[in-house]
Structure 1
Amino acid sequence: MRIRNKLVIILLLSVFILSSLYSTSTYALPPNYEPPKLNVNVNNVLEHLRKLSSFAPRISGYPQCEEAAKYIADVLSSYGYNVTLEKFNVTVPYEQHSELVLYTQTGAQVIKAYALLPNTIETSYTNGLEGEVIYVETKYGDLRDFEGIDVKDKIVALKWDSEKAWRWAAYLGAKGIIFLINNQTRFTEYDNYWKRFWVPIDFPRIAVNEEDFFKLYQPGMQGKIVVKMEYVIRPSYNVIATLPGERKEAIMAITHYDTWSAIPALAQGADDALSAATLLEIARIAAAKKHRYTLIFGFFSGYRQALQGAREFVYKHKDDLLNDIRFVFELSLSSSSANAGIFNRGNFQSYYPLDYDQATFAVRQDFIKLVNETYSKHYGFKLILWDYSPTQAEVLRLRYFDFEIFEMVKIPGIAFGSPAIWEGTATPQDTYETLTSRKDLKPGEVAEKLGSTYLNLLLYLLDDYPDDILKLYAPGRVRTLEGKVVFFNESEGVYKPVPNSIVIVFGMSTARQLPFFVRHYFVVKTDSNGTYVIHTIAPSDIATYAIFPFNDEPPEGPVKYAIDFGTYMRG
């Protein structure tokens, strides 16, 4: 009995120490607290949204994304922030030129074309894929559409919304695909998955305007696809803005400003820019006074390159700025709903060790209380999500947050914003004109209600949070993956480097006995010595990685080298 009593005392003491570590409060707002009720200027938000959407395609690594970064930096500088552009390199499928040539009776006619995302590492690059062009009318989106039709060694044209019929064309021996699109084409986020193969098949796919195609098309005519798209290493930028406070300890407000698309050249990403446009307006209002905590704004790029902007920021500042950051607060908006969600987890890594969640518990509880009792009533919306379960999310509707990278190194974070993302986000349909003309999309209302709420929650953290947010940062968890791609030269009996290779690294979560499946992946190109570096990967206690190197030099035709599925395949 004596031993058992001592054990109970030790356990109680441990619980007390843990609860004291994460907060000195009982998760209660200050007595008689009157929450701030400031409002964002919707017109300012929409103007930022219009401007950011004009930088298209705003994919990290493209020049237009750099222009967007400079615009954000100029705006923040005008508000009085200390602003820096932090450069890093991304590996991106970069399209220089694509076209479809149709040979009519009057000669060759050229139609503007747009390459689709690669089949993993295999782009649609071709100097000239020639063959008979055949249009296939699709009713079913499957094999039945090809009954009685010979597509072997032909270039198949079909409408974009033909579901998976294009895959059956490939299975039946087609040379390539022409997708027909128009202003009424329905694009969804699923296209990023289903309009390409997830194996490196050399099978060119382009999209062209449907009207342009049918003006020239005649059954039996010859055509040629030309695509200049390759994986290249390009510069990208994070925009970091600082407003010194009374203390050097900092609260960081973050979002991403880049976008993506199944057709990279068609990437305005207006809905994808709503968070950045709103956060710019929030920065204007927050700059009006000096706060208790230092305020840092982070506008990250590389969002769909496995949150690379956030990963590069953490790596760059692992020995300096991260020591001062106490909390990361992310804004994640979509124009499809003005209701709200609070996220303490995301799908980059589904679950973290217990201390990650506990570190955010006090702030999250205060946020829930403030939103439910004050802001949802004041601005007229509902908080419908406050405990996101990544493992229960649909595979094609996963939510990734930049704050997850900070949580991997034990800097607590939360995202506030829309509970779900519009299906047209990060597609060719995601344009400023679409967002401001469709009745079912509400960018202004979302910015006014959720943007204003985020602003007031941020001010609460900066000035009114009753306790010190303790330092939990663990620099030892900033991990880097370095590797080298080689091949075995049998005649010399040695391994030799393979320069300009493409490496895909799949990350699988292992925390809490989760199923072993991909949570995120990296694509990186090696240098002239065959080496590659990936900064800020998940520590081994919550993830394992599978490494797949390929070489596609020259870019036309099938891959030159592929992975040896041996002992060293898994990293």
Structure 2
Amino acid sequence: MGSRTKALLLTALISLITVLASTTCQPPASPEEPSSRIVIEPSALMKHVKALASLGSRVTGYAGCKRAADYIADVLKGYGLKVVIHKYSAVVPFDEGSSVRVLINGNKYTFTAYSIWPNGVNPSPTPPGGVRGPLIYVGRGRLKDFDGKDVDGAIVLMDYESGDNWLNAVKLGAKAVIFIGPSHVPPYVESLKKFLDTPINFPRVYVTHEVGERLKELAKRGAEAVVISRMRWREVEAENIIGILKGEIPDTILLTTHYDSWSAVPALASSAHEAIAPAYLLELAKALSRTKPYRTIWFVFFSGHWEALVGPREFVERFYFGPEVANGSFKPVMLINIGDLDPEGTGLQLLRGGAGTLYATTSNAGGITLRYAWVVKKIFTEYLMNPELRREIKSLVGVEPSTYVRDYFTNLMYWGTEQFPYMLDSEPAEMTRGVAFTIQSAYASKQWLGSPVSDLEELSEEKLELLKPQLV
């Protein structure tokens, strides 16, 4: 789909939120009247994306995540919103500093390394002095790549784009594996294959492409290496950031997203693509902060997405079941989560459940169709039938706006258009049997997920033009 079509679909997303958080008791526009449009410029999005992607790893509990929380809070305060910091505890694998030491001809060279995500509950730390052995390079780690090499007791140097071939090194008796980072953003599946659910104790570290090339040279010369991996489980303080735009009544619409990120190398997780959604919500908060809404609006930025939704879960536990609900000062009417916004996607999808919760709700979530009926009606029979919107899209691509928007509000095993298992920040709220769903790009491969290599260079204002919500 071209940039103009995608842009109008994002217009639909923005305008839907505007309708649901109407500035008056009445609908903002009749079907025959154009509703107000919010313009969010790619340059504004890119400014936030660059800022968030430059803060370091945004894995929950890491310094970059805290800096991102501070950045978001400062921006929301600048809009004049009341900012609430919701703190909670989470347990995360924390890289306390890893390294590779190379010994050759009486010389010693030390290189920075980064620990890989744990195997199940086992972070596979090395003894304090590390593990030592001959350094051998095996390319992609296929069995034939080990031919003629003495692997037992060795430190194996392997390309990152090698699938799960590191298990060949384990089977052949290696002491540790060093992954050489690529010079480009690797496919998501590569990151998923660098760890197991099985808690085997096997140290794995990552080095940058430049360091890897140096290690390959040293391996050719018969060097020995010492791998030190200092990955530990750590209980950390994490934060959800809430910006409150007070309305005339306590009925509250929550607009949410997550600002943390993930990588198979947790110390290197600064994803620029994952920063698009929080950048978008910041700009949406800016636009809506200039209005006086009838209903109260909460702009919520979650951390803890990648830790089994611990941030959204703790938020729901605190606020959906808190004293404010009991005394009537906070009434959550609906939660709309902004999921992954990918410029390469085609259309929008509305999702209520992910790969985990749908298994729990397929048989006992009666009333789903009825619960979401009014939302579907508002979107598909009212808003997307707006004559102005229909004319604009038809004039550009000759199709109805509903062609590129699809809902998955069902108790069947639908995964939307996602090709990998996924989690939604809206799921904990949805499981309270309230109305909560996620809007995100459809038919997007999202190969940038989980990358230890910065993807910032893959984004630009021109690329984000695909997400521009207003053409004229």
Q: CA deviation at 1:364?
A: 2.6
Q: CA deviation at 1:191?
A: 3.2
Contact 2:191/2:450 (8 A) holds in 1: no
Structure-2 change in CA distance of 1:416 and 1:256 (3 Å): same
State the secondary structure of the residue aligned to 1:261.
coil
* Structure of higher RCO (CA pairs closer than 8 Å, 6+ residues apart): 2
In structure 2, the partner of 1:285 is 287
CA distance in 2, matches of 1:244, 1:70: 22
Contact 1:271/1:426 (8 A) holds in 2: no
Q: CA deviation at 1:435?
A: 2.1
In structure 1, the partner of 2:15 is none
In structure 2, the partner of 1:190 is 189
CA distance in 1, matches of 2:131, 2:389: 58
CA distance in 2, matches of 1:361, 1:319: 28
Contact 1:93/1:232 (8 A) holds in 2: yes
One-letter code aligned to 2:120:
T
State the secondary structure of the residue aligned to 2:161.
coil
In structure 2, the partner of 1:510 is none
Instruction: Report how many residues are paired.
Output: 417
1:158-197 equivalence runs, <5 A: 158-184=158-184, 186-197=185-196
Stretches of structure 2 lacking an aligned partner (at least 5 in a row): 1-28
Which of 388, 399, 406 is 2:429 aligned to? 406
Structure-2 change in CA distance of 1:219 and 1:134 (3 Å): farther
Superposed CA offset, 1:221-266 (max 9, x none): 2110011110100111000111111211011100001000001111
Contact 2:136/2:157 (8 A) holds in 1: yes
Structure-2 change in CA distance of 1:130 and 1:376 (3 Å): farther
Deviating more after overlay: 240-249 vs 277-286 = 240-249
Contact 1:130/1:225 (8 A) holds in 2: yes
1:416-427 equivalence runs, <5 A: 416-419=439-442, 420=444, 422-427=446-451
CA distance in 1, matches of 2:451, 2:147: 31
Structure-2 change in CA distance of 1:179 and 1:42 (3 Å): same
Structure-2 change in CA distance of 1:342 and 1:375 (3 Å): farther
In structure 2, the partner of 1:143 is 143
Q: CA deviation at 1:378?
A: 4.0
State the secondary structure of the residue aligned to 2:114.
strand
Deviating more after overlay: 364-373 vs 423-432 = 364-373
One-letter code aligned to 2:432:
V
Structure-2 change in CA distance of 1:286 and 1:395 (3 Å): closer
Structure-2 change in CA distance of 1:295 and 1:392 (3 Å): closer
In structure 2, the partner of 1:524 is none
CA distance in 1, matches of 2:204, 2:62: 21
In structure 1, the partner of 2:254 is 252
Stretches of structure 1 lacking an aligned partner (at least 5 in a row): 1-28, 454-571
State the secondary structure of the residue aligned to 2:304.
coil
1:333-482 equivalence runs, <5 A: 333-337=341-345, 339-350=347-358, 351=361, 353-369=365-381, 370-371=383-384, 373=386, 375=389, 378=392, 383-388=403-408, 391-393=413-415, 397-419=420-442, 420=444, 422-436=446-460, 442-446=463-467, 448-449=468-469
CA distance in 2, matches of 1:372, 1:228: 57
CA distance in 2, matches of 1:324, 1:266: 39
Which of 273, 285, 295 is 1:271 aligned to? 273
| TM-score normalised according to structure 2 size | 0.82
In structure 2, the partner of 1:519 is none
One-letter code aligned to 1:391:
M
1:16-35 equivalence runs, <5 A: 30=30, 32-35=32-35
Contact 1:328/1:414 (8 A) holds in 2: yes
Q: CA deviation at 1:165?
A: 1.9
State the secondary structure of the residue aligned to 2:220.
coil
1:40-119 equivalence runs, <5 A: 40-119=40-119
| TM-score normalised according to structure 1 size | 0.68
Q: CA deviation at 1:270?
A: 0.8
State the secondary structure of the residue aligned to 1:354.
coil
What is the RMSD computed on CA atoms of the aligned residues?
2.6
State the secondary structure of the residue aligned to 1:289.
coil
Q: CA deviation at 1:357?
A: 4.1
Q: CA deviation at 1:30?
A: 4.8
Equivalent pairs: percent with the same residue?
A: 28
State the secondary structure of the residue aligned to 1:230.
strand
Higher Rg: 1
Q: CA deviation at 1:105?
A: 1.7
State the secondary structure of the residue aligned to 2:66.
helix
Structure number with higher strand proportion:
1
Superposed CA offset, 1:376-417 (max 9, x none): 764768653513377354996123211111111112012222
